[in-house]
Structure 1
Amino acid sequence: MNIFELIKKIIQVNKGQIYNIISTEALLRAIAWYVTPIFYYLRITPNVISVIALLTGVLASFVIMIGGKDLYLYGVMIYVLSIIFDHCDGNIARLRNMPTFFGRFMDGLFDIIVQGFMQIALLSLILTDVLPSIQETSTTHIMGFEVNLILILGITLLSLFSTPMQHMIPDRYGAYCRWINEEHKLSLSPTLRTDVSFRFVDILNDIQLIFIILGVLSNQFIFIYFIMNLVSSITMVSFYFYYAKKRMSIHANDHRTYLNEKDKL
């Protein structure tokens, strides 16, 4: 199969993928179509590509942590490359008809690890700016607004610690719904995608990458990234908390009664 036929086939197998076509994600997915043939011709498996994406993302964070603003542009370029590689593993899996649940699990886990390392790297830049300045002044200007340095540090740390919630709460909600369904013979949906639109969260997450890139110009954009990440976390938690209360307000004794009747049988 020549490269033009291969790219055409890659585009075809991705037609069922759901994402916002007007976004940075769509742009990087499109770029990944033309990078995927490299892995295809080298016969690299999807899981190995996931590992390559992980290592590339971690490398990007270390470049930023060690090099600071001097190497920030290079770190961001490597980070974007890791995202492109992250799309390539799915392309190869669909192209070779090799999708597995383990592959999806590993891919998602590696995404979380890369995001964590990248946020620590970005935090190091914020700390480099804020900590020396605290001794001299209590405020700084961000986008024309005077902001307290302690507030900047607090929001940044809170945003960093809120990130795991974005990944934990959907998994927790889904797993708990499945457990309730199994124990009570109910049919709670383990996902909210059919009940509520996450478009706002998706847009926020998409814009976050833009502000990471704009961090080349100023650390102010990195701080705005952390604000958006915090808003995204709060929105996710609010959605799932609301629907958990709405759907899971089942008396706990119902579970015990069901188990006792099951044991008698």
Structure 2
Amino acid sequence: MSISRRSFLLTGAAVAAAAGTGFAASQAGAAPAPQAGPAASPAGDVVGKVTVGYQGWFAAPGDGAPINGWWHWSPDMSKAPAPGANSAKSWPDVSEYTRTYPTAMPDLNGGGKAALFSSWDQQTVDTHFRWMREYGIDTAALQRFNPFGSEGPTRDGMAQKVRQAAEANGRKFYVMYDVTNWNGMREQVKQDWTEKMSAHTSSSAYAHQNGRPVVCVWGFGFSDDARPFGAEECLDVVNWLKAQGCYVIGGVPTHWRTESEDSRPG
């Protein structure tokens, strides 16, 4: 019986498809086919999408934020940004915000006051998520530093504001823990997720991947004093989050694969 080229190609395609699922087609006397590795995750709220980090950490006195200072705008939070005392890397265009906060900087070239926005104003967050919608940005990773210190109440409020803006603009968000200078993170990440942040997964805007709510932990594996965590405690946090049903993303050093330079060995 002769075999046509078409029959041969169709049979080969079927075997390749079977192998791709991790199952091999068998024939008498044939060597076992190598097993395929885990399949890549399908498109979801993070895979195949454009994601940005969202810090939401700018504030100004009088904005109503619990932190009540020029948070991340000035080297001294109690003093307005001024010439020689300004933490902004570049001056933002504030023309689309309904409320801004005047600084001690000179007037702008156009004659307007040098004012800055506050992340605590819901309209500020709404504007950012509207921009995401208008420019095709799908998801925001809400950065969450140690919430057990003085910044905690403001960060808690920002999570609610981001949730509201994401829901209103059809965008997605997820929590991204940053463990920098967070010495108690091993137990406190678990406590914070259980008592506060996991509640946000009920939102229609909370990002899911492979059917699981997304959480990121940024800062494991760095070889510096701000992140002194060993492999065992890092793995404990990752495994705990996975056990809660989360899809876990890691933010790791540049040279993590070679365990050199900025990467902690092991």
Same topology, TM > 0.5: no
TM-score (norm 2): 0.23
Q: Which has the higher strand share?
A: 2
Structure with the bigger RCO (C-alpha within 8 Å, sep 6+) is 1
* Structure index of larger Rg: 2
Q: Which has the higher helix share?
A: 1
TM-score (norm 1): 0.23
